[in-house]
Amino acid sequence: MVDRLVPRGTVHPMAWWGWAFGIAIATTKSPGAVSTGLLIAAVVIVVAVCHGDSPFARAFPAYLALGAMIVLIRVVFHILVGIKGGSGFVVSLPRIPLPDWTGGIELLGPVSVSGVAAAATAGLALAALLLCFGAAIALTDPQRTLRSLPASLHLLGTATVIAMTLAPQLVESWQRVRRAQALRGQRVRRLHAASATTSPVLQDALERSLKIAASMDSRGYARMRAGGSALVPVLTITALVGAALGTYALMDGASPRWLSIPLLAGGAVAAVLGSMMASRRIHATRYRPDPWGLRETLITGSGMAVAALALFGPTGGSQGAAGWSAVFLLCAVVAAAPIPIVVAP
Amino acid sequence: MTAAGIIQLDHVEFRYPNSSHPVLHDVTLAIPEGELCLVIGPTGSGKSTLLQLVNGLAPHFTGGQLTGTVTVDGRDTRLHPPRDLADLVGAVGQDPVAGFVTGRVDDELAYGMEQLGLPDSVMRTRIEEVVDLIGLEAVRHRPLSELSAGEQQRVAIASVLTSHPRILVLDEPTSALDPTGAEEVLAAILRLVHDLGITVLMAEQRLERVIQYADSMVRVGDDGAAHSGSPAAILEGSPLAPPIVELSRLAAWESQPRSIRDARRLAGPLRDRLRESLSLQSAGPTSGADGSVALRTEGLRVRYGAVHALAGVDITLRAGELAAVMGRNGSGKSSLLWALQGSGVRSGGTVLVYDTTLDSGAQVSTRPGRRQAGVDPRTLAPDEAIRRIALVPQNPSDLLYLDSVLAECRAADRAAGAAEGTAATLLDRLAPGLPESRHPRDLSEGERLALVLAVQLAGQPAILLLDEPTRGLDYDAKRRLGEVLKELAAIGTAVLLSSHDVEFVARTADRVLVLARGELLTDGPAQEVLTASPSFAPQVAKILRPLPLLTVDAVRAALVEGK
């Protein structure tokens, strides 16, 4: 029998996360809308070609819609309360000053082309970040992603898996109770109906979570070995501080580069050490772990290359809505690299 | 008998928090290795608690106060929480789906082993072994939610087996299963006991399904006392007894048979006596098929996406009839009841309900050939529908949302437009002495069913539909439910229930419909349908085949007739 446990062509989930993370870093360095758009196009094409058939893959269009919403909301807010200025006035809306205690915020005011374009560009940058996240989810089955977490995160991973299976169960039990209560023949006020449904559904959810907890406990969940290390919390905090400061330094163009890289690297080392020490206490193993091969390295590598190009490549090109640079065209091409890797037999 | 048992309970008393009296009181037991031990007792007795004590869920998980000691293979459960007993005790709860942690069969099978930290190669071997042993090859890569109830139960058992436990604790493993599915699960359990020497501790309400496999039994009483012994000793004088034991008492056989085979060997003389007395009787009993038509369907179809739950079903239900729908899990029984009630999915065909109260008047029935116009229940407003056709769903607690029994009854009166106190009076007849102030959640399964019945019957509907009403009920509660339904039928209510419970249907229904893959296979008097089918035949029919007798009561009546 053909073993369909890991379908042919399935890539290690962490490879996709690495790829998406690299592109997400690149989008923050994008000079403007055109460059960001190129990256988004690359991401969308990769998802369209490489996605599996999990329900999460089918949800990717929702991320696209959400991205569009973000751009729209950003523009609407700019028109409503944004600080106006720039060139090319199009509409002259009346200014409505708010009371003094708001700190001098004005509603509406003259709207300019460049202002709207800048707002849209900023919205697009946010949307791009969101789409990278959505792409990683669409390309991997989150349950499998959680399975490949290190042992120290195992308990957290299991809890997340359960939370994810519980959500559809809640919806199902909500529908069941609603249907059952219609049987009683009551014509009730809407508020009353909501409370009548909520109480059995919550009871149901509570009972279900107790049952699943009992089942997990009796099957050995959270069996611990003796002896933890006091170093683990210290390392965890070091890792967090390193990651936070390093990321800030990396994203903020003003801070020196020599500061950011060592901070990030130091944080990463602390995280790995802490995780390894914490893992020693938990004696759980993985059934058929996903293998990491050349494909995975190439996919993650392409994401990292995009990040490196954006961070260290030659700067230049125009800013704003027309923000265009040759480096980002190259970035987009590299970002699409997983397509031949996955499609190739 | 200090070291005799792999499971030892020594003067155990267990009391839940905020409870005035203990659920288990001074229990001393020793269960030897390799036995299949059956735990019986009325609902609400400490059966489940006893099982939970064995793997430490009580008291570590449930809370409560434990005195005395419970040792499992020498480990004191007071010192070992359930997770530290996971390599020794495998426990499967009443609802297997509620215990699933992952989304797919093979992940679920591996879960326990992952927690124990077994290497990947060992996990692969064990999963192969268990898949073969339990017969899961066909479903091993499928999502758990797509499996049938019987398959889910077998996956739940398999998923604790992969940890190689020496003890298996099963709480009502067949309660949700149809007769065939139950047999598959029991065959798998039996194989574990015989081939692997696993000790099985199993609670079960439907003794007729499991009694023949038990090596020993424990009876837990309402007072919390537990007696253990051989099945014969425990069943003697027990009010909880399967039909085979009741028949043996009636016929006064000296050795008590537990399997159909043994009973048939003993039943020769009884069969001869019954054959004589039956031949004296005139034609078989008449069914209540002479009432006016209460409900009629034509070509009823129900579709969910690509799945045809019902494919063109024609049913006519008459006033005063007590009919039962049977069939495998997933054969469309629930879909049928919901579609009949009107709030379920209906993809095609017609459902019409008729006002049978009109016909009961003498002046109306003097006009033969008059055909009263039926109403599609889907077009009725909810408060009108409840007065015509009522449905008790599979999970009766879904209907209840108020904080006391009295409040629920009052709400039911208002909804049905009935006089104040109608539902409460009904409830008092169904479950006498139920405190009005009790929270519905604190009721036992039987009491909750009685409350929901009272709520749904407040509008005096002409048609009553019940979806799997006997789930979780003990023999006593089932008998009472059967009496209530017969009373309702006697006053002209058309009752249609779905059930896997062969013995209950044999005792209660006078007409049986068998559904398979959404089609109506058989429709006829209970006596004919149940004696003809091998999987739906009750124990008495199997023992006395080919005589058309279904229940011990029928045998008793026939014997009296013959004298």
C-alpha A195/C-alpha A187 separation (Å) is 14
What are the structure tokens assigned to A342, written together? Answer: 């996955």
Coil/strand/helix, residue B2: coil
Closest Cβ–Cβ partner in B160, B381, B391 for A183: B391
Cβ contact B399–A183 (<8 Å): yes
DSSP line for A23-86: HHHHHHT--BHHHHHHHHHHHHHHHHHH--SSHHHHTHHHHHHHHHHHHHHHHHHHHHHSPP--
Greater confidence, B167 or A175?
B167
CA distance B398 to chain A (A): 5
pLDDT in the model for residue A66:
92
pLDDT band at A4 (very low <50, low <70, confident <90, very high): very low
> Nearest chain B Cα to A4, which residue?
B141
pLDDT digits (tens, 9 = 90+) for B549-561: 999 999 999 888 7
C-alpha B271/C-alpha B353 separation (Å) is 44
pLDDT in the model for residue A131:
92
State the helix-helix crossing angle for A13-28 and A33-50, rounded to 10 degrees.
Answer: 170
Find the mean pLDDT for residues A37-54.
86
pLDDT in the model for residue A187:
60
Closest Cβ–Cβ partner in A196, A221, A284 for B117: A284
Q: Is A55 on the interface with B (CB under 8 A)?
A: no
Interface A-B, measured as beta-carbon pairs within 8 A, has a size of 165
- Tell which of B53, B83, B337 to mutate to test the A interface (max A CBs under 10 Å): B83
Fold identical between B7-237 and B293-360+374-532? yes
pLDDT band at B563 (very low <50, low <70, confident <90, very high): low
Quick one: what percent of chain A has pLDDT higher than 90?
9
Closest Cβ–Cβ partner in B83, B393, B441 for A220: B83
pLDDT digits (tens, 9 = 90+) for B407-424: 999 989 988 888 888 899
Q: Is A84 on the interface with B (CB under 8 A)?
A: no
Find the mean pLDDT for residues A110-138.
87
Find the mean pLDDT for residues B355-365.
52
SS3 per-residue string spanning B339-404: HHHCCCCCCEEEEEECCHHHHHCHHHHCCCCCCCCCECHHHCCHHHHHHHEEEECCCHHHHCCCCC
What is the Cα Rg of chain A in Å?
25
Cβ contact A195–B401 (<8 Å): yes
Find the mean pLDDT for residues B358-368.
44
pLDDT averaged over every residue in chain B:
87
CA distance A11 to chain B (A): 18
| B46 and B14 Cβ atoms separated by less than 8 Å | yes
Coil/strand/helix, residue A205: helix
Q: Break chain A into its structural domains and give their ranges.
A: 13-150+292-343, 229-281
Q: Which phi and psi (to 5°) does residue B455 adopt?
A: -60, -45
Q: In what order do the strands lie in the sheet with B7-15?
A: B24-31, B7-15, B65-72, B75-76
pLDDT in the model for residue B400:
86
- Report for B42-46, B367-371, B484-488: range of highest mean pLDDT: B484-488
Coil/strand/helix, residue B283: coil
Cα angle, residue B418 at apex, residues B417 and B421 outer, rounded to 5°: 135
Find the mean pLDDT for residues A134-138.
88
Q: Is A163 on the interface with B (CB under 8 A)?
A: no
CA distance B400 to chain A (A): 7
pLDDT band at B281 (very low <50, low <70, confident <90, very high): low
- Tell which of A145, A211, A219, A223 to mutate to test the B interface (max B CBs under 10 Å): A219
Q: Which residue has the tokens 């837990």?
A: B220
Greater confidence, B286 or B86?
B86
Cβ contact A285–B120 (<8 Å): yes
Q: In what order do the strands lie in the sheet with B199-203?
A: B89-92, B167-171, B199-203, B36-40, B216-220, B226-229
Q: Is A162 on the interface with B (CB under 8 A)?
A: yes
| B562 and B272 Cβ atoms separated by less than 8 Å | no
pLDDT band at B201 (very low <50, low <70, confident <90, very high): very high
- Report for A32-36, A95-99, A155-159, A323-327: range of highest mean pLDDT: A32-36
Beta-strand runs (E) in chain A? 89-97, 106-112
Closest Cβ–Cβ partner in B107, B117, B455 for A283: B117
pLDDT band at A139 (very low <50, low <70, confident <90, very high): confident
pLDDT in the model for residue B507:
93
Quick one: what percent of chain B has pLDDT higher than 70?
94
Find the mean pLDDT for residues B215-242.
89
- Tell which of B57, B101, B341, B397 to mutate to test the A interface (max A CBs under 10 Å): B101
Cβ contact B91–A183 (<8 Å): no
Residue B356 has pLDDT above 90, yes or no: no
pLDDT digits (tens, 9 = 90+) for B242-266: 999 999 999 998 888 889 999 999 9
C-alpha B444/C-alpha A195 separation (Å) is 24
To the question of pTM greater than 0.90 for the whole model, the response is: no
pLDDT digits (tens, 9 = 90+) for A56-76: 777 888 899 999 999 999 988
pLDDT in the model for residue B324:
96
Closest Cβ–Cβ partner in B81, B110, B383 for A187: B383
Q: Is A199 on the interface with B (CB under 8 A)?
A: yes
Residues of chain B found within 8 Å of residue A199, distances taken between Cβ atoms: 401
- Tell which of A170, A172, A184 to mutate to test the B interface (max B CBs under 10 Å): A184
pLDDT in the model for residue A316:
63
H-run or E-run covering B202: strand B199-203
pLDDT in the model for residue B112:
92
CATH top class, domain B293-360+374-532: alpha beta
Find the mean pLDDT for residues A29-49.
87
Residues of chain A found within 8 Å of residue B337, distances taken between Cβ atoms: none
pLDDT in the model for residue B2:
45
Closest Cα to residue B464, out of B444, B433, B487? B487
Cβ contact B93–A211 (<8 Å): yes
CA distance A208 to chain B (A): 6
Q: Is A202 on the interface with B (CB under 8 A)?
A: no
Is there a cis peptide before residue B546, judged by omega within 30 degrees of 0?
yes
Quick one: what percent of chain B has pLDDT higher than 90?
48
pLDDT digits (tens, 9 = 90+) for A302-338: 889 888 888 887 766 666 666 677 788 888 888 888 8
Cβ contact A183–B395 (<8 Å): no
| B370 and A169 Cβ atoms separated by less than 8 Å | no
Low-confidence winner among A65-69, A86-90, A205-209, B515-519 (lowest mean pLDDT)? A86-90
pLDDT in the model for residue A345:
60
pLDDT digits (tens, 9 = 90+) for A215-231: 888 888 877 766 666 77
Q: Is A190 on the interface with B (CB under 8 A)?
A: no
CA distance B532 to chain A (A): 35
Q: Is A165 on the interface with B (CB under 8 A)?
A: yes
Residues of chain B found within 8 Å of residue A143, distances taken between Cβ atoms: 102-103
Residue B230 has pLDDT above 70, yes or no: yes
Pairing assessment for the beta strands B307-318 and B216-220 based on DSSP bridges: unpaired
H-run or E-run covering B336: helix B333-341
Residue B369 has pLDDT above 50, yes or no: no
Closest Cα to residue B303, out of B341, B332, B337? B332
The CATH architecture to which B7-237 belongs is 3-Layer(aba) Sandwich (3.40)
pLDDT band at A7 (very low <50, low <70, confident <90, very high): very low
| B57 and A179 Cβ atoms separated by less than 8 Å | no
Q: Is A155 on the interface with B (CB under 8 A)?
A: no
Q: In what order do the strands lie in the sheet with B511-516?
A: B389-392, B463-467, B494-498, B322-326, B511-516, B519-525
pLDDT digits (tens, 9 = 90+) for B14-65: 999 888 889 999 999 999 999 999 999 887 788 889 999 998 998 888 888 9
Greater confidence, B15 or A185?
B15
Closest Cβ–Cβ partner in B160, B343, B383 for A219: B160
> Nearest chain B Cα to A207, which residue?
B98
- Report for A85-94, A275-284, B45-54: range of highest mean pLDDT: B45-54
> Nearest chain B Cα to A186, which residue?
B415
Greater confidence, A3 or A16?
A16
Cβ contact A183–B81 (<8 Å): no
Cβ contact B61–A177 (<8 Å): no
Cβ contact B100–A200 (<8 Å): no
